[in-house]
Structure 1
């Protein structure tokens, strides 16, 4: 690995803190209902996707339990979404301790998205890039709503 397991977790956690601040910037009534055009989704829907991908990959890598399901479909308020983010971050930290650098380097066929052979660290990098991508969409939504997004460089 080019970076240590601990450094990668620092990056994941810094990004999640910024994502949480992005959720906090949304007004309650816009978080679950606003999207500028079809087929774009509300930011809360994108956040639920981020959390579902994280749970599926982390559980698969840490426990060899490869199942992708919508674990956050019942989340319907800003407070619940923020709690879900904190809970998922805690679950990730707990599972992270069981994952070795050797396990992160293991290759296997993508179980969910048809991406072919990938290492587990590549899977987690995809999840991180997915979060960053959707957070960028959230920034655009906030600007369209006349709201200044959080400073991206503060993690």
Structure 2
């Protein structure tokens, strides 16, 4: 069964709502500094990666502007990180209006990660899987800090 462009966006939105709840569960002093072992990164660094991937892919898919760079190096507070999540998602919502289902089906070489050619839909699926993966790490970090993470099934 294929999903529509609108159904894909709702999946992305539901996952982002859950990621935001994980950010909110972190104590402000642990969000940017806590990592259980080397070479793991603090959860904030993972969230910044999620946002950079989303921004780069959406600009590329919607505007054919393919550039990947860290836009969030100056984000250093929980409030700024949450604001960044909303800013990137607001930009995605705006760009999404111009993305057609035909555009999502287009296949091209990977512009950033040296992956094999893939469709733009697959590119967004990768972005979602990356977010889920890092959010799962956030769940483990919370548990290691003695904090009950948000219920997974509430989106």
Q: Normalization by structure 1: what TM-score?
A: 0.99
Alpha-carbon distance between aligned partners in 1 of 2:152 and 2:85, rounded to the nearest angstrom = 18
Query: Partners of 1:16 and 1:118 in 2: how far apart?
Result: 23
User: Aligned equivalents of 1:90 and 1:5: distance in 2?
Assistant: 17
Instruction: Could you list the structure 1 runs, at least 4 aligned residues long, displaced by more than 2 angstroms after superposition.
Output: none
Secondary structure in 1 matching 2:81:
helix
Structure 1 residue 154 displacement after superposition: 0.2
Deviation at residue 116 of structure 1 after TM alignment:
1.3
SS of the residue aligned with 1:112?
coil
Does the alignment pair 1:14 with 2:14? yes
How far apart in 2 are the matches of 1:116 and 1:143? 36
Measured in 1, the distance between the counterparts of 2:18 and 2:147 equals 16
Q: Partner of 1:81 in structure 2?
A: 81
Query: 1: CA distance between counterparts of 2:109 and 2:2?
Result: 22
Q: In the alignment, which residue of structure 2 is the partner of 1:94?
A: 94
Give the RMSD, CA atoms, in angstroms.
0.7
Q: Which consecutive unaligned segments of at least 5 residues does structure 1 have? A: none
Q: SS at 2:108's partner residue?
A: strand
Give distance in 2, aligned partners of 1:35 and 1:71.
22
| Equivalent residues, number | 155
Question: What SS does structure 1 have at the residue aligned with 2:131?
Answer: helix
Name 2:145's counterpart in structure 1: 145
